[in-house]
Amino acid sequence: MSGTFRGFYINQNEGGIEQEIKSVSLSELAPHEVLIRVHFSSLNYKDALSANGNKGVTRKFPHIPGIDAAGVVERSSNAQITAGSLVLVTGYDLGMNTWGGFGEYISVPASWVIPLPAELSLLEAMSFGTAGFTAGMSVDKIVEAGINPSDGPIVVSGATGGVGSMSIAILSQLGFDVCAVTGKPDQAFLHNIVGAKSVMQREAFFEKYNSKPLSSADFAAGIDTVGGEMLSSMLKSVKHQGVVTSCGHVSSPELHTSVFPFILRGVTLAGIDSAEAKHALRVKIWNNLATIWKPKYLGEMVQEIDLNHLADKLDELLQGKAKGRYVLRH
Ligand SMILES: NC(=O)c1ccc[n+]([C@@H]2O[C@H](COP(=O)([O-])OP(=O)(O)OC[C@H]3O[C@@H](n4cnc5c(N)ncnc54)[C@H](OP(=O)(O)O)[C@@H]3O)[C@@H](O)[C@H]2O)c1
């Protein structure tokens, strides 16, 4: 392949990790079936880990991170995917050890490619990105369990983060009352834009729900994005036949719990793995995100940035300071 493209290029040398915006030859991309001109990507916690050399995410350097990409097919050797079509790719190995959406081009296997739903723009697709898709998978677990708005409020942790804010916005779009649990003092974003009905500070949540083996059953279900004490508290706070989803570990990968939520309240702990979600589930979730789940204020939850702002925003994510979602426009 001839030609070059710009990307956020990560290299590793004796001095540690080096990040630079660089022009790279298209021939350096792995020779997969589909070449995509990326118009938008988005920032996720995992990208911040990859860009800082976390070996649990990326082992091979040099590397271009970006677990999300949306754009136009430039070339394809797969009959189902035609040049010129609008597509999105999230998860699998994208941005991990396969060069990702922080470059203007990606080359991926055909099985990773999802056609962009007609009701979604490329920008909207990346406003959701992996965070929105993971939120969608979490909401799907709750809805598929038969839980509906009349069963009571849903609690969501990491509320101002990507997965947390998207989960609240989707649930609120579906008519659920949501209690947002956050470590940040400012509540206006959560109430006015994301759509939370109530907001609780993280420490107050622990105090109320983590002191006894079971606490008052105040929620129909929970979406936990941070792990550790938050997940164990949440398990104690949901009603009979409730569902608690677990997708993240920004607080801790540990889970200390008794069996009481499971054997006395029939609570289900549902794991979420968006990276390896099956194709049919992906299509279902993206179609819902494009239509009945699309939040009213999706545009306001997102800030657009370019390659020059990427390093600073990834640092914000690592420090837990980000609010809402960042979309990268190429
Ligand atoms: N399993 C999957 O498929 C999957 C997919 C996507 C993401 N994830 C994981 O889900 C987690 C969240 O991802 P994200 O993209 O939403 O990240 P994010 O945008 O960085 O949001 C994380 C949020 O967690 C809260 N937080 C930060 N530090 C915390 C701490 N020490 N204790 C408790 N809460 C803390 C903060 O919100 P508040 O200040 O509002 O509390 C922060 O904004 C990450 O662990 C990520 O790797 C997993």
Residues 131-186: pLDDT tens digits? 999 999 999 999 999 999 999 999 999 999 999 999 999 999 999 999 999 999 98
| 152 ligand 1 Cβ < 6 A | no
For residues 294 and 211, which has the higher predicted lDDT (pLDDT)? Answer: 294
Beta bridge pairs of residue 22 = 7
Task: Pull the structure tokens for residue 118.
Answer: 């007609």
Question: Tell me, what's the pLDDT at 211?
Answer: 83
CATH architecture of residue range(s) 4-116+297-329: Alpha-Beta Complex (3.90)
| 272 ligand 1 Cβ < 6 A | yes
Nearest CA to ligand 1 atom 46: 248
The one-letter amino acid at 326: Y
- The sign of the CA dihedral 314, 315, 320, 322 is negative
Nearest CA to ligand 1 atom 18: 161
Q: Is the predicted pLDDT of residue 28 greater than 80, yes or no? A: yes
| 73 ligand 1 Cβ < 6 A | no
Neighbouring CB atoms inside 10 A of 140's CB total 19
User: Residue 322 C-alpha to ligand 1 middle, in angstroms?
Assistant: 10
Q: Is the separation of the CB atoms in 33 and 77 below 8 Å?
A: yes
User: Residue 45 C-alpha to ligand 1 middle, in angstroms?
Assistant: 7
With a CB cutoff of 8 Å and minimum separation 6, the contacts of 54 are: none
| 246 ligand 1 Cβ < 6 A | no
**Start-to-end Cα distance in the chain:** 20
Task: Return the best residue to mutate from 49, 187, 226 for the ligand 1 pocket (most ligand atoms within 8 A of CB).
Answer: 226
Cα–Cα dist 87/71, whole Å = 6
| 32 ligand 1 Cβ < 6 A | no
Nearest CA to ligand 1 atom 27: 320
3-state secondary structure (DSSP) of residue 263: helix
Q: Is the predicted pLDDT of residue 1 greater than 80, yes or no? A: no
Neighbouring CB atoms inside 10 A of 275's CB total 16
pTM for the structure as a whole: 0.96
Q: Is the separation of the CB atoms in 51 and 100 below 8 Å?
A: no
Cβ burial, residue 102 (10 Å; 0-12/13-18/19+)? buried
Q: Using one digit for the tens of pLDDT, what is the confidence trace for 221-240? A: 999 999 999 999 999 999 99
Nearest CA to ligand 1 atom 28: 320
Q: Is the separation of the CB atoms in 21 and 330 below 8 Å?
A: no
Nearest CA to ligand 1 atom 29: 251
Domain boundaries, the chain: 4-116+297-329, 130-271
| 161 ligand 1 Cβ < 6 A | yes
Nearest CA to ligand 1 atom 45: 248
Q: Using one digit for the tens of pLDDT, what is the confidence trace for 56-110? A: 999 999 999 999 999 999 999 999 999 999 999 999 999 999 999 999 999 999 9
| 163 ligand 1 Cβ < 6 A | yes
| 64 ligand 1 Cβ < 6 A | no
Nearest CA to ligand 1 atom 4: 247
Task: Pull the structure tokens for residue 68.
Answer: 């999300």
Decide if 4-116+297-329 and 130-271 have a common fold. no
Q: The domain 130-271 belongs to what CATH superfamily?
A: NAD(P)-binding Rossmann-like Domain (3.40.50.720)
